[in-house]
Structure 1
């Protein structure tokens, strides 16, 4: 049994200020006993426009945000799922929305580039988003070994695509981590429903750190960071503003549940 935490922020355009807030929350979560800490999408920067992040993008393996993640993981002896950071893309005017995972020794153990990009007009709203204008999509999913179980990494809009997660179950998926920046309107409509659905249908834990609050750029995000168990029960939820949720992830309980309720073994050809 391990305590895991999902951190909630209301990030702004200043990277250094965001990193200070992130470290404060990581320190508090570690003090509360967390061994895995997940940050939200865009934790290091939510700029005044979509291209501000291009100005601070980092090359793979070097940069102040990557150094920060390695340092805090080692300092607080926790595994860190690093939300997303802007990484170099093929195009000069774009980034990869990259989630990096570090172990408790500060060693990088995984990289995932966000696959599904948020290009939508929100119904009954003036809100429009064109993430693909400044972000280059990734091509591969990511499932890694960890002391807490097999962990799948995804980001925000990925949550809406159940078929994206199904192949992960073939790799022994135990936990899905979903760093996010769900808007206030879409979050109120769908956030909890989608998180609980992904937990139930994959019979796994879901750890979902979200941006939550009003941002300097005028955007409002939904918050309600939460941890959901394999039965769809919300174990902890933090509604708005900076903070974190934490809960126990119990691999032995998960194994017993899957043995007694073998949904994943009952899939047929149309699920492949």
Structure 2
């Protein structure tokens, strides 16, 4: 196992993003500034941090948002000297659709990792709401990355709906991920029953920290997000919960805790993958 810093503070930010990119990015910077002032080394923005609105407007703004979001992450990471996760923003896919992309940026403004969301949220919920992310978003065609960040350890990227697919996180864990990054805009209806349960499960089964920035509140029309940005330890203990207002869930990531849990519960070492081949 690659050791992480003996301890560092991680800040999972919680926003109520709207169709106004200027207001969203201003709100994001305010939270980044607050987290940095409190000593956070890793700061994460949720999915749709720069824009949460109508799909047609999102497609029209995608070229501008793609460039602006990437530059915003570089500027913020360098200005506040943090490792910064941009949890998801639209990037033109070249065929009239977009990718939902997360980027991880280092303190010097260097791009450390990039991930295009693989699993798309196409569901019909019992509350009458229907979501069809695939109508405008193309699924990423590359495996989610694991990147070693000096002082922070091995970070594995994912986005929101991915959390329902445990094989993705087992893939990340098998490649050494010690912190699972799961930025989201989880719906209020599904979040009340599934959000914390799924995140704790991903932490427990992979004996890894889970770092989950989130959207909260009402954004436009009927769209409402669950909130509760979380930081969870490898035992599945919730270390920080941002509640339902914009703010931050901040907690300490500790090497000794990670190693203790992996020593006491070495379940990853007990796997028998040859007996349970995956079928498509």
Q: Would you say the 8 A contact 1:115–1:158 is kept in 2?
A: yes
Matched, 1:30 2:42: no
The equivalent of 1:180 in structure 2 is 184
The equivalent of 1:225 in structure 2 is 229
SS of the residue 1:37 aligns to:
strand
The equivalent of 2:249 in structure 1 is 245
Q: TM-score, normalised by structure 2?
A: 0.92
Following superposition, the deviation at residue 239 of structure 1 comes to 1.3
Structure 1, 248-257 or 103-112: larger mean CA deviation: 248-257
Residue in structure 2 matching 1:195, options 165, 181, 199? 199
Q: Would you say the 8 A contact 1:59–1:88 is kept in 2?
A: no
SS of the residue 2:11 aligns to:
strand
SS of the residue 1:158 aligns to:
helix
Residue in structure 2 matching 1:109, options 108, 112, 124? 112
Deviations 1:148-205 (A, max 9, x none): 1111110000000001111211211100010100000000010000000000000000
Counterparts in 2 of 1:1-272, with a 5 A limit? 1-47=7-53, 49-58=54-63, 63-92=67-96, 94-122=97-125, 124-139=126-141, 140-146=143-149, 147-269=151-273, 270=275
SS of the residue 1:221 aligns to:
strand
Q: Would you say the 8 A contact 1:149–1:251 is kept in 2?
A: no
Following superposition, the deviation at residue 251 of structure 1 comes to 2.1
Structure 1, 16-25 or 168-177: larger mean CA deviation: 168-177
Once residues 169 and 255 of structure 1 are traced to their aligned partners in structure 2, the CA distance between those partners, rounded to angstroms, is 14
SS of the residue 2:192 aligns to:
helix
Following superposition, the deviation at residue 256 of structure 1 comes to 2.8
Q: TM-score, normalised by structure 1?
A: 0.95
After TM superposition, what 4+ stretches of structure 1 lie above 3 angstroms from structure 2? none
- What runs of 5+ residues in structure 2 fail to find an aligned partner? 1-6
SS of the residue 1:84 aligns to:
strand
Q: Give the structure with the higher percent strand.
A: 2
Q: Would you say the 8 A contact 1:30–1:78 is kept in 2?
A: yes
Once residues 12 and 93 of structure 2 are traced to their aligned partners in structure 1, the CA distance between those partners, rounded to angstroms, is 28
Once residues 267 and 34 of structure 1 are traced to their aligned partners in structure 2, the CA distance between those partners, rounded to angstroms, is 35
Q: Would you say the 8 A contact 1:195–1:206 is kept in 2?
A: yes
Deviations 1:15-44 (A, max 9, x none): 111000000000001111100001000000
Following superposition, the deviation at residue 59 of structure 1 comes to 8.2
Following superposition, the deviation at residue 9 of structure 1 comes to 0.5
- What runs of 5+ residues in structure 1 fail to find an aligned partner? none
Once residues 154 and 118 of structure 2 are traced to their aligned partners in structure 1, the CA distance between those partners, rounded to angstroms, is 20
